[in-house]
Structure 1
Amino acid sequence: MVDKKVMAKNTFMLYGRMLLIMFVTFYTSRMVLNTLGVYDFGLYSVVGSIIVLFSFIQNVSALATQRFLSVGLGRNDHRWTNSVFNVSIIVHLIICGVLIILAETVGLWFLLHKLKVPAERLDDIFWVYQISLVSLLFQIMQTPFMASLIASEKMDLFAKIGIFDAFQRWLMVFLFTLFYFQSKIISYALFLLVGYILVFIVYVVICTGKLNICKINIRIKENIGLIKEIFSFSSWSMIGSLSVVGLSQGIALLTYYFVGVIANGSIWLAEQIMVAFNRIIGTLQTAINPQIIKQYSIGNSKDVTTLIYLSCKLTAFVVMISAIPVFIDADYIVSLWLGQTPLYLEGLVKIVAIYILIDSLSGPYVTAIYAVGKLRNYQFVVSAIMMFSLLLTFVIFLLGFSVYAAVSARIFCAFVLLVFRVIYINKTTGVSAKQFLFDVMPRLGFVACVSILSMQFLSAYLPDRFVGLVLLTVINLLFVMFMFSFVVLKNEERKQIMQLIKNRF
């Protein structure tokens, strides 16, 4: 049976963790920029962008590990779950080996021969790259432990480690700014490495000490079948992740080719806003996802349906209260963030806000698809839809339409993917596609459209700048809450929420 109080508590803890880490990241970025200077900060960012391209492997392996652990815990089979944990360590060690080979060949060649780095800074860049690679390896190896905490729904421990992570980030940057170093950029990378090692140690100590499923007992021969199963699952997941990266980078390259470097820069900045939204959405869904997988693993289809719809509604609510003010007041928000509004960025931010409203609803269905585990046909179709979206973007550019029209093709892609995922889950699990497509989604769409139009009308009567943005955010929050209560939520759901509030306060 699903414990909604536990999910509510976990959500609260995860949001606190996310807000603290985002604040520390923002604050320390300013400290590092002031200490390194614009040029060295830019050089470090170049190296970081290459490492990020490799780090998507960690996201894939984390999803696969969490899925298998949640299935084992859902079946209450702790012995099998512990085997999954130990196998995931082996899998991540193999991933690290492959990553080292790729990074020291293709990655290093690209860094030294294709990037325009001054010859006198090549040594610095080389060592920063090597240190950053080691940092990434520690992050990858902590994935089995992090996934175990999430699958076990130990969000209190996960949040506490997040607080420690935020503190060590600030401490490492603070110590770095205290002293003078001959090569600041290398010293900064070393301080970050020390921080990553500390977080890794904390994950290992807490998980092995607090969780029975994290007892390390690696036996390769006995678990060959399980290793193959997890690798097979991860490989199909990787195809989907490559499609996402291909679509994102493909749109950026097409924009650079047809429009120019300024538009390409605005595309990159708009992507950062999308990343921020995804963090907010991911935090909410992380609290619910383990339960979706566990309930499916024990054949509880009724609770799976309830959790999917609940997750969709809560996700839509969180997105609407955050994305609608961004859509309405994009110009001021961008200027508040950057000090100016680059060309194209305001319109692109509005497109991102609409895109995220649609795409966020796919999250619970993706989790259910991972619970089912049949990824081959699913990933083929998803990849085909994404590549068609990229082709559509190319045709729109070729026909001479604006960058806004071309990038809006991604909204169409998100809608098609959502419909496909809903139908796919209907066929594999029996969760009603008709109820979502013709009841839940139209209600959510109605609330979103009415809220956007109402806030757009109201914004003309609000003060300019910061006070107006605060008022718009508060009024939008109250308006969306009112609309959700009477349009989206059913009587039973309203009563449950009111009861939870009464019990809490």
Structure 2
Amino acid sequence: MSDINNNKRIAKNTMMLYIRMLFSMVVSLYTSRVVLNTLGVEDYGIYGVVGGVVVLFSFLNNAMSVATQRFLNFELGRQDMFRVKCVFNVSITIYIFIALLIILLSETIGIWFFYTKLNIPFDRQNAAMWVYQMSVLASCLSVIRIPYNALVIAYEKMSFFAYVSIIEVLLKLLVVIVLVHIAFDHLIMYSILLFIVSFVVVVVYVLYCNLNFSVSKYSFCWDKELFGKLTSYSAWNMFGASAGVAKDQGINFLLNIFFTPSINAAHAISMQINSAIFQFYNSILVAAQPQIIKYYAAQELEKMYRLVFLVVKIIYLLLIVISLPLFFDTSFILNLWLGTVPEYSMPFIRILIGITCVDAMATPLMTVAHATGKIKLYQSLVGTITICIIPISYLFLRYGGLEPTIVYVISLCLSIVNFFIRLWFVNDLAKFPVYDFLSQVMFRVIIMTIILVLFMHLMGNLFICDSVFIFVVKLVISSALSLFLFYCLCFNSREKNMFINKIQSCFKQYVKF
């Protein structure tokens, strides 16, 4: 398939996922406000920290998810359908074991941590335990779902992926509507209803894959060589995945240990914003990742480089459009969204925007590293640096007596360090052209960011954001300027020609003279 056809398919898939993202983000922002008001700040913070205990063990799930996705895409790139089926069957077998392992760890180490380390009011411990058990079951369901989800993405069936995501969001909206009218303990019912939603989504994925992909018909398969490759790859990836989870949940636990559940509520709000921003740019990542791996499998490295360059630039554009107004008008947005804003929410969100921008632009580089399959040293070094946030933050909080924002500042610094480490690794593993990347992508992105920040600062001094109308005007102006600067500074001549030709094609198609 030609490079142009691949790009068209990626663009089409991105559009489907983008529509799904916009719908999901709008509904999620609304439901977060209702859930916060319904549960209250304390219960909302409890839900965030207790659910995090289970997420701490989900690194097993995340590690195998990346492995399954990588091997499915790689074999599809080589057009070896027998190996695709083997990868899927072996993955299912391993995932059954992982689900059992999660239950074992959650009901032993997790229970101990729940009762001895978490700061939960005595009168809410019973409700918190319900949340914990429902989260354990939901985690096991997510484990079973991952191979089917990976298969859908590997075949690039993004329309189904988008539709199911929208259905999932609608079900969660229904949960919120029902929750408001239930007299029973809201925290307990919220966890039970979310578990039911997870169960429904898993059933839909299994049925769709069984009906549409012959390779998804599970039968026990034991391929010692493939099992060794999957487990070896996952073992090293597990360290990196566990480091990422430990970083996010470690911050949550440290805030709970040194402060109060209300600070956990602020952290939960910032993570909700982070999730919304992630959904905003994740569409292009999900659409492009399979093709990046397939290009590497076919050893079409020049095409892979061009695609990675383009993906990073588009991710930046999507991030800057949503992040600038959010950064400069954080207070207005939080008050409009939540009404009751937990303390420290605003500084948490502002620093987290910077962290998200750095990590998001590094994600395509991570995909290149995973495509090579040589991730032992890569995951060891990146994972070690990532997890260092926990001891460093503990020392600052324990002996420095600093405010909770320090953990976010430390996280930002370590994310920047990891970005350059990833660049060095992809250059070594896949001969990635680092100099071209820095000069053609990163340098132009930095110049564009400086111009936009100065402009937004000036506009903020001239127009105080105290109404929805002013916010929308500022959003439109900043978005238009971002698009203009992006076209002028970030697109190369080839990409400009492609963009102009696409515009002309659309104009001729829809405008009749």
Verify same fold: TM over 0.5: yes
Q: Which moved more, 1:67-76 or 1:123-132?
A: 123-132
Cα drift, residue 236 of structure 1:
1.3
* 2:206 matches 1:204: yes
Which residue type is aligned with residue 465 of structure 2?
Answer: D
After superposition, where does 1:240-251 map in structure 2 within 5 Å? 240-251=240-251
Give matches, 1:141-180, under 5 Å: 141-174=144-177
1:237 Cα deviation (Å)? 1.4
One-letter amino acid matched to 1:84: V
Give the Cα separation in 1 of the matches to 2:424 and 2:35. Answer: 48
Query: Which one of the candidate residues 138, 141, 148 is aligned to 2:141?
Result: 138
Q: How does 1:216-231 map to 2 (within 5 A)?
A: 216-220=218-222, 223-231=223-231
Match of 1:72 among 71, 75, 83: 75
Amino acid in the other structure paired with 1:500 = K
In structure 2, distance between residues paired with 1:102 and 1:359: 29
CA shift digits 1:327-383 (9 cap, x unpaired): 222222233333355554433433222333322210100011111111110012112
Structure 2: which amino acid aligns with 1:457? L
Runs of 5+ unmatched residues, structure 1: none
Opposite residue 168 of structure 2, the aligned amino acid is: D
Rounded to whole Å, the distance in 2 between the matches of 1:129 and 1:406 is 25
Structure 1 range deviating more: 236-245 or 448-457:
236-245
| Change over 3 Å in CA distance of 1:489–1:360 after alignment to 2 | same
User: Is contact 2:76-2:84 (8 Å) kept?
Assistant: yes
Residue range with higher mean Cα deviation, 225-234 or 165-174: 165-174
Alpha-carbon separation, structure 2, partners of 1:122 and 1:261: 13
- Tell me the residue number matched to 1:100: 103
**TM-score (norm. length: structure 2):** 0.88
Aligned mates of 1:421, 1:278 — CA distance in 2? 20
Contact 2:48/2:265 (<8 A) preserved: no
Matches within 5 A, 1:422-461: 422-461=423-462
Q: Does 1:498 align with 2:508?
A: no
Q: What is the 5 A alignment of 1:2-401?
A: 2=3, 3-29=6-32, 44-115=47-118, 125-174=128-177, 185-220=187-222, 223-251=223-251, 266-339=266-339, 343-387=343-387
How many Å separate the matches in 1 of 2:273 and 2:214? Answer: 39
Question: Partners in 1 of 2:142 and 2:461 — Cα distance?
Answer: 47
1: CA distance between counterparts of 2:258 and 2:172?
A: 40
- Report if the CA contact (8 A) 1:169-1:195 is conserved: yes
Deviations 1:466-502 (A, max 9, x none): 2222122111111111111111111110111222333
| Whole-angstrom CA distance in 1 between matches of 2:199 and 2:158 | 21
Q: Which has the higher contact order (CA 8 A, sep 6+)?
A: 2
> Structure 1 residues 453 and 432 mapped into 2: Cα distance closer, same or farther (>3 Å)?
same
Whether the 8 Å CA contact 2:17–2:158 is kept in 1: the answer is yes
1:400-439 per-position Cα deviation (integer Å, ceiling 9, x unaligned): 8776566433333222212221121111111201111233
d(CA) in 2 for partners of 1:499 and 1:10? Answer: 20
Q: Which amino acid aligns with 1:284?
A: I
Length-normalised TM-score, structure 1: 0.89
Change (3 A) 1:189 1:414: closer
Contact 1:173 1:191 in 2 (8 A): no
CA distance in 1, matches of 2:344, 2:45: 23
Letter matched to residue 280 of structure 1: F
CA contact (8 A) 1:389 1:409 kept: yes
2:510 maps to none
SS at match of 1:161: helix
CA distance in 2 between partners of 1:259 and 1:125 (Å) = 19
CA 123–76 in structure 1, closer or farther in 2 if over 3 Å, else same: same
After TM superposition, the structure 1 stretch with the greater mean CA deviation from structure 2, 166-175 or 59-68, is 166-175
| Alpha-carbon contact 1:351-1:408 (below 8 Å) kept | yes
What CA deviation, in whole Å up to 9, does each residue of 1:1-32 have, x standing for no partner?
34111111111111222222333334444555
Do the aligned residues in 2 keep the contact of 1:365 with 1:422 (CA within 8 Å)?
A: yes
Instruction: Supply the AA of the counterpart residue of 1:98.
Output: L
- SS in structure 2 opposite 1:486? helix
Superposition deviation, residue 283 in structure 1? 2.4
Contact 2:312-2:361 at 8 Å conserved across structures: yes
Cα RMSD after superposing both structures: 3.0
CA–CA separation in structure 2 for the residues paired with 1:20 and 1:248: 26
Rounded Cα–Cα distance in structure 1 between residues aligned with 2:174 and 2:266: 32
- Unaligned stretches of 5+ in structure 2? 508-513
8 Å Cα contact 1:328/1:452 also seen in 2: no
Note the C-alpha offset of 1:158.
0.9
- Structure 1 residues 32 and 13: CA distance shift in structure 2, 3 A: same
Separation in structure 1 between the aligned mates of residue 42 and residue 347 of structure 2, nearest angstrom: 29
Aligned residues: 502
Contact 1:362 1:421 in 2 (8 A): yes
Q: CA deviation at 1:192?
A: 3.0
- 1:51-102 per-position Cα deviation (integer Å, ceiling 9, x unaligned): 3333343333222211111001111111101111111111110110100101
Question: Take 1:122 and 1:345, find their aligned partners in 2: how far apart are those partners?
Answer: 25
* Deviation for aligned residue 1:118: 6.5
How many angstroms does 1:188 deviate by? Answer: 4.2
**% identical equivalent positions:** 31
Q: 1:13 to 1:125 in 2, by over 3 A?
A: same
Distance 1:166 1:23 in 2: 10
